[in-house]
Structure 1
Amino acid sequence: MIRKAVIPAAGLGTRFLPATKSQPKEMLPIIDTPTIQYVVQEAVDSGIEDILIITGRGKRAIEDHFDRNVELEAKLEEKQDELLWNEMRRLSDMANIHYVRQRETNGLGDAIYYAKQHVGNEPFAVLLGDTIMDSVIPVTQQLIDTYEQYQSTVIAVETVPREKVNRYGIVGGTALSDTIMQLDALIEKPSIEAAPSTLAIAGRYILSPEIFTAIEQTGKGKGGEIQLTDAFQILLRRESIYAHRIEGERHDIGNKLDFLKTTVKFALKRKEFSAPFLKFLRATLAEYEGK
């Protein structure tokens, strides 16, 4: 049983400057909901209520978001806004959230190592704090189901265009089914020629505690940082690692274009303004096509 989740959220968010100079990129909203709230909700929907968020300097807004705001609650109660009052209380009660600060940005592998004391000697989920999954069955739950079958590390993957493999960690191995692969190769941002497949690591994991020993033995890799993909190569010598092809759509909020696309897609799902927003998009598109 997977009881704990870790959400790395310590990155500097330089691709979203100047917006991220004073706020974490994980707090950038998709309409009215911060990105990291979707991530925490996915963990909760997968049956996990013990969550450790790895933060860094300038990330205090994340803690404030999931904390109670008694003054705000009192104001909403005074205005008799029961819907928003309930939502604010739900935010602070949705999970047992803990925080630890990464002292310096030194890669995803290093960030996850900060969870060693919290998770102890048990498997745990990792959900990247700037990646939203849109799926019927939560992607983390999909990975948990696969972990329960194989009792070993499971990595979420998705197919990407071959010309884009050099942007991702890419895996290779032996297919066990339409959705499961036993891995024998993991390469961080390979060249097109060196890529073992077009299956890219998709920001969700179920990790065995052996990952911490592997991280300890991992040197700095691409970008001068401790890459989790490199740690997986060491872990692969000790235990089997499986890839699970996700059922759902991944939204990388760390990318500006994907952020815009995600906002549009999520807006079209909102009943209160989907129809007028779609009308606006069609009119705007017609205007641009007419130029």
Structure 2
Amino acid sequence: MAGAPDSVRTAVLPIAGLGTRFLPATKAVPKEMLPVAGRPLVQYAVQEALDSGIERVVLVAAPGRDLALQHFARDRELEAALAARGRSRAQAEVRMLPTLGERLTAVEQAEPLGLGHAVGCATQAFGPGPYAVILPDDLVLGNVPCLRQLLDVHDQLGGTVLAVTSLPREELRKFGVVAPGVDDGTVVEVHGLVEKPAPGMEPSQLAVVGRYVLAPEVCAALPTLVPGAGGELQLTDAIAATIGATPVHAVRFEGRRFDCGNPAGMVAAGVAVTLADPSLSEVVATSVRALLSGMDGEQA
């Protein structure tokens, strides 16, 4: 009789991307440090990992990119300045950061060779897994952390678990797409994966988005990867290589996903976060309504 699945204690956050869609801002500021309603993307990802029960978070960063680690470091001078000015809410936010930072470590990705390579940099440093992976570009807002939902399925079924969402066919060429098997409406057996399929070759409309739980077998396959779609080492190729040998499932997660890898998604995420903040929601809602009303007037 098979034992219970190994607990997932480590999450990998790849943050080595160039952020070209946000230039010129990302010329000096790494994409993972761009703010959504005052907090950088990487902070949302770290918080989700820890809220999901993860014990260690590994940042996979480009050489010289240490701003994310600096963000979570203690800054006593700033704390004192905020206290002197009576900025208690900001002071509390800043004082909380080092408690997140205690769980962080970093490894270097010398070259941007793809997501499979980025995850491989972490597994080479910390062993065979299992691992969780969070892509900070994909911000998911909901009552239960997206990663926690995947971990719950992993605890029941073991193997590899992927977050998926249904997308229009014209958007699927940018994603890994699942070839589904048995589907109970939430959890889907994965019989195959196609990375960035050509139009008309999509096996379904279920796209893999930003959250993974990887079985040790996937981690073992990473060093054998050859360049795939886009000339990069694709994580989906490593996952696909294990299908049949280890269980692979996809989860239609609860929550709203924002693609913060592009400016429109970043703006939408900022609006959603501020509307959920009682101290900001009224003024933001009023501003958004005024903007939309003005647009309607211009189009009339």
Please give the range of the TM-score, normalised by the shorter of the 2 chains.
over 0.9
Is the partner of 2:69 in helix, strand or coil? helix
Contact 1:175 1:182 in 2 (8 A): yes
In structure 2, distance between residues paired with 1:79 and 1:117: 46
Q: How does 1:103-182 map to 2 (within 5 A)?
A: 103-182=110-189
Aligned length: 291
Q: Using the TM superposition, give the Cα deviation of residue 24 of structure 1 relative to its aligned residue in structure 2, in angstroms.
A: 0.9
Per the normalisation by structure 1, the TM-score is: 0.95
In structure 2, distance between residues paired with 1:290 and 1:116: 55
Q: How does 1:71-110 map to 2 (within 5 A)?
A: 71-94=77-100, 95-110=102-117
The aligned counterpart of 1:12 is 18
1:19-52 CA distances to partner (integer Å, 9 max, x unpaired)?
0010111111012111111111111111113110
Instruction: Pick closer, same or farther for the CA change 1:77–1:39 going to 2, 3 Å.
Output: same
Q: Using the TM superposition, give the Cα deviation of residue 81 of structure 1 relative to its aligned residue in structure 2, in angstroms.
A: 3.6
The aligned counterpart of 1:245 is 252
In structure 1, distance between residues paired with 2:171 and 2:90: 42
Is the partner of 1:290 in helix, strand or coil? helix
Q: Using the TM superposition, give the Cα deviation of residue 118 of structure 1 relative to its aligned residue in structure 2, in angstroms.
A: 4.2
Contact 1:7 1:54 in 2 (8 A): yes
The aligned counterpart of 1:190 is 197
The aligned counterpart of 1:211 is 218
In structure 1, distance between residues paired with 2:129 and 2:238: 18
Per the normalisation by structure 2, the TM-score is: 0.92
Amino acid across the alignment from 1:206: V
In structure 2, distance between residues paired with 1:137 and 1:273: 23
Instruction: Pick closer, same or farther for the CA change 1:202–1:274 going to 2, 3 Å.
Output: same
In structure 1, distance between residues paired with 2:83 and 2:287: 35
Is the partner of 1:133 in helix, strand or coil? strand
Identify which of 268, 279, 288 aligns with 1:261.
268
Long gaps (5+) in structure 1: none
Q: Using the TM superposition, give the Cα deviation of residue 73 of structure 1 relative to its aligned residue in structure 2, in angstroms.
A: 2.0
1:152-208 CA distances to partner (integer Å, 9 max, x unpaired)?
111111110122111211001212411111111101111231111000001101111
The aligned counterpart of 2:231 is 224
> Are 2:15 and 1:23 aligned?
no
Is the partner of 2:199 in helix, strand or coil? coil
In structure 1, distance between residues paired with 2:217 and 2:85: 52
Long gaps (5+) in structure 2: 1-6
Amino acid across the alignment from 2:19: G
The aligned counterpart of 1:36 is 42
Is the partner of 2:216 in helix, strand or coil? coil
1:126-164 CA distances to partner (integer Å, 9 max, x unpaired)?
101222111111111100110011111111111101221
The aligned counterpart of 2:4 is none
Identical-residue share of aligned pairs (%): 40
Q: Using the TM superposition, give the Cα deviation of residue 247 of structure 1 relative to its aligned residue in structure 2, in angstroms.
A: 1.0
